[in-house]
Chain A
Amino acid sequence: MTDYTLAQLSNYSVYSAMVVLTLAMLAHGLYLARIVPARESASTREEAPARELVAAGVGSEGSAASAEGAGGATADAVEAEPRSARKAAGIARMLTLLGTLLLVAGVVLRAAEVHRWPLGNMYEFAIVGAMFTLLAYVGWSTRRDLRWLGLFVVGPVLLVLGAATTVWYTDASELMPSLRSYWLAIHVTVATMTVAVFTLGAALGILYLVQDRLEASDAPPRSFMGRLPSARALERMTYGAHIIAFPMWTFTVIAGAIWARQAWGSYWNWDPKEVWSFVIWVVYAAYLHARATTGWKRQNAVWIALGGFVCVVLNFAVVNLFLVGMHSYSGL
C-alpha cells in the first residue's frame, strides 16, 4: 500500500471513530438519564407542594434522605436499574469499545504511513492522547463498574478529536532532526499517557465536587448524581488517578531533561514547555501535599488538582502555539 492510501485509511479510521464515539456518548447520556431514581421522579410530581412546606421549615427529612441516597445505598435507592438503562449502558460500552479500536487503528495506520513513532506534531499528540484516555477508561472498566463515568470521558475525548481533525490537522511528514531519537518514544509516549490519566482524574474531581455540593445541600438527589458513588468514594478515585499520574509525570520531566541534554546541550533551559511542565509538576505536588495536610479540606485539595489540569491544557493548547521556545513541533 502506498503511504497516500495509508494516510487516507488513517483519516477514515479517525473519522469513523468520531462517529461511533458520538453515538457512544449519546448512549452514555441515555444511561444516565434512565438511572435517575424513579422514586424521585414520581415523588417530585406528587409531593411538590408538601416539599415546599417542609423546605420552608428546616427540611430535616430531605437532608436525611439525601445523605443516604447519595451513596446509592438506601434500601429503596438500591432498587435495580431500569432495564432500559442497562440496555443503554450495554450499547454505550460496545460503542466505546468499537470507537477505541477504530482510534487505535487510526494511530497505527498513521505510524505505518510516516514510518516512525506517531508523536511528531500536535495532531498526532491529540489523537494519541485521546486514544490513551479511552484505553485507560476501557481498561479500568474491566475492573469496576464505571458506566456512570462514560459520558465524562467520551465527551472530552470527542472535543479533543474534533479540534485535532479541524484546527490541528497536519499531513504526515518526517521529523525534525532534534526529534529523531528513541527518547521521543519514551518521553512523549509517557507524557501523553500521563495526560490521559490526568484527564480521568480531572473528570472524577469535578464529579466529586458536584457530588459533595449535592450531599451538603438539603435537596434530595433528583438527578443521576444520586446513583453515582458517594462523594467520599469519588474523592478516593480522584486521588487514585492522581497518584498514578504524578509519578508518571515526574518520569516525563526527568526523561525530557535527559533528552534535552542530548538534543540541546543542557538538561534544563527554561524553555516555555519546560516551564509549564515544571509548573504542572509543582501544582500536582501541591495537591498531594494539600490532601495530606491536616486541617486542609479535601475539596480545596481537589480544586488544586483541577488547577493542575488547567495547566496541562494550557501546556498543550497554548504553549505549543503561542509561546516562543524550542519545543516548536506543533507542525502548524
Chain B
Amino acid sequence: MSTTDDRTLSTQPAPPDGGAGGPVTLPRLGPVGWLRFVWRQLTSMRTALFLLLLLAVGAIPGSTFPQRSIDAARTAQWISDHPSAGPLLDRLGFFEVYASPWFAAIYLLLFVSLIGCVVPRSRIHWHQLRARPPRAPRRLDRLPAHREEVVDGSPDEVRDRLRTALRGRRYRVHAHDDSTLSAEKGYLKETGNLVFHLALIGVLVGVGWGHLLGWKGDVIVPVGKTFANTLGGYDTFSPGPWVDPTDLSPYTIRLDTMDVAFETEDKGAGQFGMPRDFRATTTFTGPDGRAEQREIAVNHPLETGGGTVFLLGNGYAPRVTVRDADGTAIYTSATPFLAQDNNYTSVGAIKVPGARPDDLGFAGFFLPTGVIDDERGPHSVFPDTLDPQLALTAFSGNLLPGGRPQSVYTLDTAAMKPLPGKDGADQLRILLRPGETFELPGGRGSITFDGVERFAGFSIRTDPGKTLTLVSALLALAGLVLSLVVRRRRVFVRVRPDETTGRTVVSVGGLAKDDDEGMDDEVAAVLTGPEGTR
C-alpha cells in the first residue's frame, strides 16, 4: 500500500506521520504532545500486531506449567519438586498465568488499542456510509483495472445504460457531473470488520461480568443423601468478588441412584475399565416446594434457575459402623473416599470424635476391586465393585488439635498415635470386606464394613456473563465472515463523444481494497454485461 489514500481505498486510520516517508523531523513535544504520541503508537496496527503476538506467547506457559486454579495439588507438588525455580516462577505468576498482572496487561493494552482504533474507524465509516462515492479521478487508465471501448449511442444513453448495469451489480452510483459516474459497493466489508472488533470487546466484557458475578460450588452427595443449596451445604464454594453468598436460591437435591458403567470387554490398549456412562437420578425440590425427579448426566446438566448442576465426579462411599466396647454404635455413615486413579483406588478418612477413651481415626484405602501386593501396596484393578475391600490403619488421640480446619478426606495425625498391631507390629492393619467386623485392641470396640454406596460429585455454577459472551462471539464470527468475503470496490465511468464516428468512447476504471484478482473481470462485466454497452 504505497499509494495515497484515495487510490487504495484504505479504511485504516492514517499512520501518525501521514504515511509519507519524508525526512523525519522531531518536533519538541509538550506533555500533551507526548500523550498524543503515545496514544497514536498504541492505536497503530503495528502495535496491535505486536500485542497479538505477545498475547499468543504469553498464553503458552499456562499450558506447560500446572495452574493453581485448575490443579492446586499438582502445582504445590511442582513447586516443591523445583526448590529453586518454583518459588521464583510462582512470584512471576507462572502458576496463575491467566490471572497474572502481566497477562492482564497484555490483553488490556490490546483492548485499549482496539477501542482507540475502532472508535475513529466507526466514525469514518458512518460518514462514508452516508456519503456519495468520490469524484472520478482524471486519469482512469491509471487505475489498477481499466478498459476503454467505442460503442454505439450518445454519451448520455451510454451513461444511462452503465448506470443501470452498475445498479444491477448492486453498486451505489452517483454522477458528480455530466460525463462521469462514480460507483462503490462492499460497504459491508468494513461494517463486518468493525462489528468483529467491537464484538471482541463484548466477549471481554461478558467474560469479566461472569467473573465478577458468577460463582461455583462443589459438593459430594452419597446416594440417599440430600444437598441443600446454602453456603454451608457446599464442600467448597468460590464466589466472584461481587457475589452475595448468603443469597442462594433455596432448593434441595436428593441423590436417588447413581448409575455407572465401565468398559468390561478388553477392546484394545487402554480401553478396559474406561468409563462409559455416568448418570445420577435425583429428586429436585425447587424453592416453591414442588419435588420432581430429574436426571443429571455428563453432557446433561440440570438447570435449577439458581445455578446449573453438573455431574463432574463420582466415586465410592463405604458405609461403616463403629461400636464402643458395649456394642453401641457411635458412628454410622457412608464416608466418601476420593478416587486416585482410573480404577478408583480411593483414599479417605473416617473420624470418630466421640469414642472412649480417646477420639478414633481411620485412614486408608477403599478398593472397588482390591488387590494388595508388596510392590504397589493396596490398589484397585477395576473401577466397578467386583471385590470391594477397605484397607485401613487406626489411630487414637485428639482428632482436632487446636481446632484447625482440616480436610475431611485426610487424617491429621499430629496429636494421634497409631494403634499397634496384634503380633507386636507397630501399626495395626485392618482389611475388611462387606459384612465383616474387626475387633479393635484394648477394649476400644469394633469397626464394621456394612457395604458400599456410590456418591456423585456435583458442581453447581452460575455465569451471568455467558449469554453476552456467546452472542458477542457469534456476532464476531458473522462480522468476520462479512469482512473477509465481501469485496470493497469502486468503479468510475467516463464517457465522451467520438468525433470521427459519432459513437461514444467509454472508459471504465476499477479500484479495489486489497489486491482483488477479480477486478479486471468486474470492469469487463460492467462494460459488457446484460445492461452494459452491448
Contacts and interface: CB of A to CB of B under 8 A. Distances in A.
B461 A266 contact: yes
Given A282-B52, A286-B56, A177 B298 contact: yes
A293 B271 contact: no
B59 A279 contact: yes
A286 B263 contact: no
Contact of B271 (A171, A271, A272, A325): A171
Nearest to A308: B56
Contacts of B274: 173, 176
A173 B6 CA distance: 61
Contacts of A24: none
A247 B275 contact: no
Given A171-B271, A173-B268, A279-B56, A254 B477 contact: yes
A325 B459 CA distance: 18
A286 B49 contact: yes
A285 B477 CA distance: 13
Given A279-B60, A282-B59, A293-B46, A269 B263 contact: no
B423 to A, nearest CB: 43
A325 B66 CA distance: 9
Interface stretch (B227-235, B462-470, B494-502, B524-532): B462-470
Nearest to B484: A243
A135 interface: no
Contact of B66 (A282, A324, A331): A324
B64 interface: yes
B474 interface: yes
A265 B459 contact: yes
A325 B67 CA distance: 10
B216 interface: yes
B104 interface: no
B481 A176 contact: no
Interface string B142-173: 00000000000000000000000000000000
A180 B69 CA distance: 27
A286 B276 contact: no
Nearest to A251: B477
A294 B1 contact: yes
Nearest to B460: A265
A165 B171 CA distance: 54
A276 B62 CA distance: 10
B55 to A, nearest CB: 5
Contacts of A323: 63-64
A185 to B, nearest CB: 13
A236 B514 CA distance: 11
Contacts of B476: 250
Given A172-B268, A275-B63, A304-B53, A178 B298 contact: yes
B74 interface: yes
A265 B296 CA distance: 12
Interface string A245-277: 011001100100110011111111111100110
A213 interface: no
B187 interface: no
B515 interface: yes
A264 to B, nearest CB: 7
B236 interface: no
Given A177-B298, A258-B470, A289-B48, A247 B480 contact: yes
A123 B66 CA distance: 27
Given A173-B274, A181-B299, A254 B461 contact: no
A283 interface: yes
A138 B55 CA distance: 36
A276 B60 CA distance: 7
A292 interface: yes
A173 B278 CA distance: 17
A296 B48 CA distance: 13
A247 B459 CA distance: 33
A170 interface: yes
Q: Which 4 A-B pairs have the closest CB atoms?
A: A171-B268, A272-B63, A265-B310, A275-B63
13 contacts: A172-B267, A174-B276, A176-B274, A183-B299, A247-B484, A254-B477, A265-B216, A265-B310, A271-B70, A282-B55, A293-B49, A325-B63, A332-B269
Given A171-B267, A180-B298, 20 more contacts: A172-B268, A174-B263, A174-B276, A175-B276, A177-B299, A178-B299, A243-B484, A246-B484, A254-B470, A254-B473, A257-B473, A263-B299, A267-B469, A270-B62, A270-B63, A283-B53, A289-B49, A289-B52, A292-B514, A294-B15
Interface of A: 170-178, 180-181, 183, 236, 243, 246-247, 250-251, 254, 257-258, 261-272, 275-276, 278-279, 282-283, 285-286, 289-290, 292-296, 304, 311, 319, 323-325, 331-332
